[in-house]
Amino acid sequence: MAALVLAGCATVSGGSGHRTEASNQPLGRLVVATPDEDHDLMAQLLAGEMALTRTDLKASSAAYSSAMMLSNDPKVAEQAAALAIAIRDTAAAQAAIARWQALGAKPAGLAQARAQLALSQGNTDEARRQLELLVSTGDPDAWRQFGRVLVGSRDAAQASQLLEAVATPQRLPADPQAWLAMSELGDKLGRHAYAMQIAEAAVKRFGTAETYAWLGQMKFRNGDKVGAKALFDKALTKDPKNTHLRLAYATLLGQGGDYAGAARLLDNGPQDADTYSLRAALAARANDTKTINRLYSQLQRSPEDVRQGATYLLGQLAEMLNRKEEALKWYDQVTDDDDHAFDADLRSAVLLQDLGRSAEAHEQLAQMQTDYLDQPQLLRRAYEVDAELYMDEQQYGQAERALSRALQVTPDDPGLLYSRGLVYAEEGQIDQAVSDFHRLLEIKPDDTDASNALGYTLADANRDLAEAQRLIEAARAARPDDPAIQDSWGWLQYRLGHLDLAEKTLRGAWAAHKDADVGVHLGEVLWKQGRQQDARRVFDEVRKIDPQSSNLNNTLKRLNP
């Protein structure tokens, strides 16, 4: 009917015989009232949320303070109160709490907010009064809210005082989880005596597996390993199939050096990806190949859900057993949503290189550099590994390009600067190498490796030997027994013409660590001393260590053209 009336109004002629002008239509004269932004609830809520995304708490608080006066939703007032408390705006917080109360806030929520406000003002007495009100409400979430108030306090001493005053054994509810939470909170706040008191009382009152285990952890940290083991044994007696409990106990035993006991504990009972992972870690730490082999076989035969959740671990076990092709297959099965997806891709690239499939390895890393564009730290690592593989292939130009791209992602990264400096040195681009090492030492003046690398680079290039001596001396003072630093010092002495001291130093480095480059340096010093036979014997040893040593080949061409 309304549609017909409107249609009629649009077509009926006026007395003059002409059609009525559109401006005379009822709808044409209708004015829609639109609120200004200050009175538009949606606009204020959007402004508040947008400010939060910018971490602009002050602007967000102002917007929510306006929004709560336009809304009858208590959640809006609750958010306004939380924001005002966060920025310590007492007046705004009090207004928001009052508005929230008027809209029907729960007593527990109000007490929590008022306690937070009191803590922000440093009013411990009022905070205690509100916290006592909070835990007396009987709200099922009251003790969790109590914990949130104290965890959010900026004053740990104040929070500790309130914890001990309010969370007493007389007040705590008949819920072991609340007792454990308060004990853990006390431990984090440094009130260890209180934490132990509550933990012991929880064991006496409830005697659950969790209470025994928590008290066991505390006793272990206090040095009472015997008492800790006894408590964990009681916990396992209470709940022998609890996988989480077995993992916690095994971790404790491993921390105490009882790897065999930890392994025995995990060998029995239900198995999942986590138990297999810890068992593998213990076996690897003990270099127990037999156990690693057994775990690999067991895990391959495990239920499908366990096996699918442990594909990365299966790849690691296959690598430990030198089954590289099998490891590749397992890593390929790691899904994109797995926490180990990146690591699996990285290990695959390294394995492809080890198997002589360098082109595939670099293709894999190139794909990762695309996949992880939005994750700088992972992208940096993909470039870094790419550079390491190119270094192994002695493709120094490609390695430098990969590291330079990585440095665009994370500028002035010390590890990348160090690696690129080494690459430049290998390429013979000494000025660039020196520049990178100097920049690294500006960032980390006491970096021993950087001092040694720069000193050696200068000595090897036979330039700025006074600076090289200062740098290598600093490295020697920090790590006097390091063979790499001894090698640098010996090579510097050779450049300075101190052949006897060079030989003595390089012999010590060579005896400590049969490194090919150290052997080449020692051989050259012996050759220059006229002891060619002795030099050739050292060079023969170098060939056994590194048959493809470019350093040795270049040195022999120079010494015996």
| pLDDT tens column, 8-44 | 333 333 333 444 444 455 444 444 444 555 668 888 8
Tokens 């790849």 -> residue: 315
pLDDT of amino acid 37: 56
Which of 495, 443, 441, 499 has its CA nearest to residue 471?
441
Rounded to whole angstroms, how far apart are CA atoms 307 and 219? 36
pLDDT of amino acid 21: 44
Residue 413 has pLDDT above 70, yes or no: yes
Residue 364 has pLDDT above 80, yes or no: yes
Which of 442, 438, 444 has its CA nearest to residue 458?
438
Averaged pLDDT, 79-95: 94
Averaged pLDDT, 89-118: 95
pLDDT of amino acid 388: 96
For the record, the structure tokens of 229 come out as 């083991």
| pLDDT tens column, 311-332 | 999 999 999 999 999 999 999 9
**What is the percent of the chain where pLDDT is above 70?**
93
User: One-letter amino acid identity for 557?
Assistant: K
What pLDDT band is residue 520 in, cutting at 50, 70 and 90?
Answer: very high
Which of 265, 272, 273, 267 has its CA nearest to residue 229?
265
Buried b (16+ CB within 10 A) or exposed e, 99-123: bbbebebeebbbbbbbbbbbbbeee
**What is the percent of the chain where pLDDT is above 90?**
75
Rounded to whole angstroms, how far apart are CA atoms 464 and 469? 9
pLDDT of amino acid 2: 37
Rounded to whole angstroms, how far apart are CA atoms 496 and 484? 19
Which of 201, 238, 195, 239 has its CA nearest to residue 217?
195
Q: Are 447 and 417 in contact (CB under 8 A)?
A: no
How many beta carbons lie within 10 A of that of residue 7, not counting itself? 10
Residue that wins the pLDDT comparison between 534 and 2: 534
pLDDT of amino acid 11: 32
Averaged pLDDT, 522-537: 94
Rounded to whole angstroms, how far apart are CA atoms 277 and 299? 10
Rounded to whole angstroms, how far apart are CA atoms 36 and 444? 56
Instruction: Return left, alpha or beta for 518; rule: phi > 0 is left, psi -120 to 50 is alpha, else beta.
Output: alpha
Residue 125 has pLDDT above 90, yes or no: yes
pLDDT of amino acid 276: 86
| pLDDT tens column, 218-262 | 999 898 989 989 999 999 899 988 888 888 888 888 888 888 888
| pLDDT tens column, 148-197 | 999 988 899 999 999 999 999 999 999 999 999 999 999 999 999 999 99
Q: What's the mean per-residue pLDDT of the chain? A: 89
| pLDDT tens column, 329-350 | 999 999 999 999 999 999 999 9
pLDDT of amino acid 38: 60
Averaged pLDDT, 479-500: 95
Rounded to whole angstroms, how far apart are CA atoms 542 and 527? 15
Averaged pLDDT, 75-81: 94
Which of 538, 519, 515, 461 has its CA nearest to residue 492?
461
Averaged pLDDT, 405-430: 95
